[in-house]
Structure 1
Amino acid sequence: MTDADFTFLRLLLQQRSGLSLTADKQYLAESRLGILCRRRGVADITALVSQLRLGRDRALENAVVDAMTTNETLFFRDRTPFELFREIILPERLAANAGSRSLRIWCAAVSSGQEAYSLAMMLDEAAALLAGWKIEIIGTDISTEILEKARAGLYSQFEIQRGLPIQMLLKHFEQRGDKWQVSQQLRGMVEFRQHNLLERNDHFGRFDVIFCRNVLIYFDVPTKAKVLELLAPRLVSDGAFILGAAETVLGLATPFACDPEHRGLYRRSAPAPQPRANATRSFQTGIEPLAGWRG
């Protein structure tokens, strides 16, 4: 790959997906795009870039973005966000939304779906408290290919072993040959849509909770700020926003601020109202911690 080709690819990825590919990642581009060239019958990366330069093949541009996007995820990844959801966020929403009896959750950059299905499993465990509620979980990703995997909910033994308690495997999955598939009930709880975080999202409506974990780390500072600015209007004023363990809004001009009482939890700039004590106590005494977790 020539320096000119790599410069073009870096600019294309930045514009199309926000991915900031640093100069020391040329080897990664050569490895991943080399595989793409072989799959599509293109002679080499130079020939691939020549096709991209014409600007006529959006499908090819999407394939390049797919190839360069990191889709690392697992069930109940990093535990803390899920503990926050069970112990803090859900009790708040039970109190705040008692009138509408609805709950909307957005998993942005959902990859192959494990985060969204993890939340669906937790909500299923709380079914008694949520009886009669309208629950929506929407998972989005820029990659159409990875979303097909998410919709199928079909995972290898290796993927299943990463973070999923055995009790939940037996309850919510069915074995399909050498793989495991999320139950039809849980798949019905999640809707997957293609979405680029750099694009407008007004049509999504507003959400009580937004998970946007482990994607900002791939963006430069201006792109991070832009993504957060686009996400903020989609969160209700007293909603909850979750970033990845290695991510923060510190140093960024955004409408989000750290919750002073709960590490890893972010709020809109306006302070969120406290949940009613009765709702919190009722929820916490009705649901046990996830089976297989060790505190």
Structure 2
Amino acid sequence: MKTLLGLVASPRKFGNCEIFVKEVYRRLEGSWHLRLIRLPELDIRPCLACYQCLFGSMKCVQKDDLACVLKEMVQADGILVAVPTYFLGANASLKRLLDRGLSFYAHLENLWGKPAVGVAIAGVKGLEGYSKLMVDSFLKLILADHRGSEVVYGALPGEVLLNDDGPAAARRLAKALEHRAASPDPHVPRCPLCGGDTFRFLAHQGINPSNVRRLRCMTCSSEGTLQWNGTSFVVDTVRGEHPLFLTREDAVAHRQWLQSMKDLFLERREELKGVTRAYKDVGTWVRPPQD
């Protein structure tokens, strides 16, 4: 029996995120067991930026619930993340977990290629903001095989399944987990390197044709162009100098680069201190009053 790990980034019990995860699970064709984690309930503390998780035993020094999540992610056969939209972005519990992402590199060999899908849920159509981008980033940066993401709408608990769009999205994600996704909509411009569909437009910088625009993929950070070929928009992106997850080799190389930063810091420590000392007494820190 396979295990599906459902990461629910909503504090609302029996809300749309929880119900959608369970609907995807019910639509899986094979023999699966569903394990659930409600991220807002966990004690996931801010990253200390100490880099200790990249060396030695490669374990975070903080004593919180991160190890529990990592264990479940490693042992799962598939991962499904569901996030509600809060002020045009995903609930902060998802980012709080992703901020501890350096710890994922200790499990790169077990996480790489693991089937994973996600959904962003918004209460008002068109007001999902950057929630889907956060879902896409999460699925890529946990080093999994990102097989699909959806945006569905529903404000009231259970509303997400009251129209045809929600069940159809659940059906597509269930199929993607087991059999990979169908070919993406050809009418939606996507990054040819990572499949991302969210872009930032950049200044022209020497591009002459009026139908060409420079852009950067917000999922993998690769730069390229958007061009109208007469029938559709075409995105062309090029690998940057420091790709994070386009291939397994990229992920391993990025882990090695992160580890090399320790030696670089020690080498330039005095030079760096010379810069930071000048700012030591600038400004006044505001802190809550002590009882």
| Higher RCO (Cα < 8 Å, 6 or more apart) | 1
More helix by share: 1
TM-score bracket for this pair, using the shorter chain length: under 0.3
TM-score by length of 2: 0.25
